[in-house]
Structure 1
Amino acid sequence: MDVSILTLLKTILQSLFAGFGIIIPIISLIKTSKLNAIRAKELFILQAVHAVRIGGIIYILLCLPDLYSTYMSTGANVDLGSGTGASVGVSYPEHYLLLLYYPPIMCLLLTQLFWIKKLYIKKFSLIVLSLFLLILPSPQFIMWVIMIPQKFIPSQWQQQPGNTLLRLWLDMVVFFFFIIILMVISGKFKNLREN
């Protein structure tokens, strides 16, 4: 597969996870007495949970080539064909390795928790897991963890809040349309409209 296609797929899946972390807690907290609205809400949440479960597996599979190539270049013994057993090693800062390895592994762990029915049926655990999926794999969280042992240096915390808000808005839009498209493709949206 082309590198740009892999990058696009990984970006869409990251948006799926972030959108899930924003929209699902909001939808879970919405109270309504209309039967159709309750069914639509439950169907949307269930479809989103299915998408996130499978998305976590696909995301780690898309990240494996990068993880493997980085692992091999960090000093693993690789025979270069000369028969000497010489190793090729590139030293990366541990922060770079943390930024590379932590998000896909954390996404996989959190998304696979949704296979446990009790965790996504109960509102509180669904909201907590959704927020964890939004916060824990994010680069901002990792940078915050990296900065804890160091002294607070304001220049290292400079971020443009407009870019972050735009990114979160796009994540929500991608997530919402992705789930609606899945509902239409699976025929569940049609069944909901008929009842």
Structure 2
Amino acid sequence: MHESINIFSQILRSILIGFGILIPIISLIKTSNLKTVEVKNLFILTGIQAVRIAGLLYFIIWAVDTYTIYADAVAIPGGLNIFKASVFGKMWMMYWLPPVFGLMLTQVLWIKKLYMKKVALITFALLILILPSYLFIKLLSIFDGVDIGNAGRSTISQTILYYAISIVIFFFITLAVMLMGGKLKDKK
């Protein structure tokens, strides 16, 4: 059960990463073809809807998983101390920041004035990509005086592969939502 929740959580995180990479690129593409502009704008708006829901679900799954870990820790003698050390110890940034930043930044996209302006949309997409990342958390931990070591660290090829898969997941989920809504058929 925990593995399936972890996989779903990684898919939701991939949607956030894919949004942070693809939306700035698609927003900056210039074209004079009106149908292409309509499809581009539809893709962006559908992507915004997908990332709002993904950010909310990512946080909910994290909160439920945290509660489950807490309930399991309470049942074990001395387990509560282990839970407190892992959730509130020196690694607290690795545990708390990605879901909390993901929730806050994606839910701000409900404000229409923010996502209708290209600069604001690109800024929030990049913030969704950067703030919950390992490198940002590592930088914060250095300023906090805590060395988080190599927790969550992966090789460059693994990171590139993860970002590439995240782009593909976001693209196909957004495209599937566009097709299911029937909006893309109207634009052809």
The letter of the residue matching 2:168 is V
Write out per-residue CA displacement over residues 134-192 of structure 1, whole angstroms, 9 at most, x where no aligned residue: 0101123212221345599xx96985222211111111111111111111111111111
Write out per-residue CA displacement over residues 106-152 of structure 1, whole angstroms, 9 at most, x where no aligned residue: 10000000000011000000000000000101123212221345599
Which residue is 2:94 aligned to?
Answer: 99
The letter of the residue matching 1:108 is L
Does residue 88 of structure 2 align to residue 89 of structure 1?
no
Whether the 8 Å CA contact 1:13–1:59 is kept in 2: the answer is yes
Change (3 A) 1:123 1:167: same
Which residue is 1:63 aligned to?
Answer: 62
Size of the alignment, in residue pairs? Answer: 181
TM-fit CA distance, 1:94: 2.6
Query: What TM-score does the superposition give when structure 2 sets the normalisation length?
Result: 0.85
Which residue is 1:11 aligned to?
Answer: 10
SS in structure 2 at match of 1:33:
coil
Task: Give the alignment partner of residue 147 of structure 1, picking from 142, 145, 149.
Answer: 142
Write out per-residue CA displacement over residues 28-54 of structure 1, whole angstroms, 9 at most, x where no aligned residue: 000111100110110000000001111
Which residue is 1:33 aligned to?
Answer: 32
TM-fit CA distance, 1:70: 5.2
Comparing both structures, which one devotes a greater share of its residues to helix?
Answer: 2
Give me the whole-angstrom Cα distance separating, in 2, the residues matched to 1:4 and 1:175.
21
RMSD: 2.6
Map residues 45-194 of structure 1 onto 2, 5 A cutoff: 45-69=44-68, 88-90=80-82, 91-92=85-86, 94-148=89-143, 160-193=155-188
Q: Flag the structure with larger Rg.
A: 1
The letter of the residue matching 1:59 is Y
Give me the whole-angstrom Cα distance separating, in 1, the residues matched to 2:187 and 2:166.
25
Identity, % of aligned positions: 37
Whether the 8 Å CA contact 2:106–2:128 is kept in 1: the answer is yes
Change (3 A) 1:72 1:133: same
